[in-house]
Amino acid sequence: MKTICIMCPVGCSLNVYEKNGEVIVEGNSCPRGEAYGKTEFVNPSRVVTTTKRSGAFSYSLKTDKPVPKTMIFKVMEKIKKTPLKELDVGDVFIKNILKTGANIIVTGKLTI
């Protein structure tokens, strides 16, 4: 598998493959790239960011840790369907969303 490390602006090109049951990462310039490549190969995940309107406010939301890529649409649907009472920046909107271990937190709040 070929991918680009997104852990810093350098963007090293990674070649990731399995050999004798071990995940091998080539092309990384530092250990963060090796960890990223292995995660991408075994269980690719992303931080989810979105916005949601509620009452007189528009909230910016994000997961506080990456969730598996296969769960992103389900996470977005859960956020969409869950009523949002008034919250402040830093508050947890949904705890342990869909048992991923990630919380949905408020990162911004604007009056509409």
Site residues, ligand SF4 (CB under 6 A): 5, 7-8, 10-12, 28-30, 32-33
- Collapsing DSSP states into helix, strand and coil, what is residue 87? coil
Q: Which residues contact 94 (CB under 8 A, 6 or more apart)?
A: 78, 79, 82, 103, 104
Dist CA 45 CA 72 (whole Å): 9
Q: In this complex, which beta carbon is closest to ligand SF4, that of residue 12 or of residue 102?
A: 12
Nearer to ligand SF4, 16 or 75 (CB): 16
Q: How far is the CB of 15 from ligand SF4 (least distance, A)?
A: 12
Q: How far is the CB of 79 from ligand SF4 (least distance, A)?
A: 29
Token digits of residue 20: 């004798």
**Tokens, residue 63:** 């997961």
| Least distance to ligand SF4, CB of residue 14, Å | 7
Residue with the CB atom nearest ligand SF4 in the bound state = 33
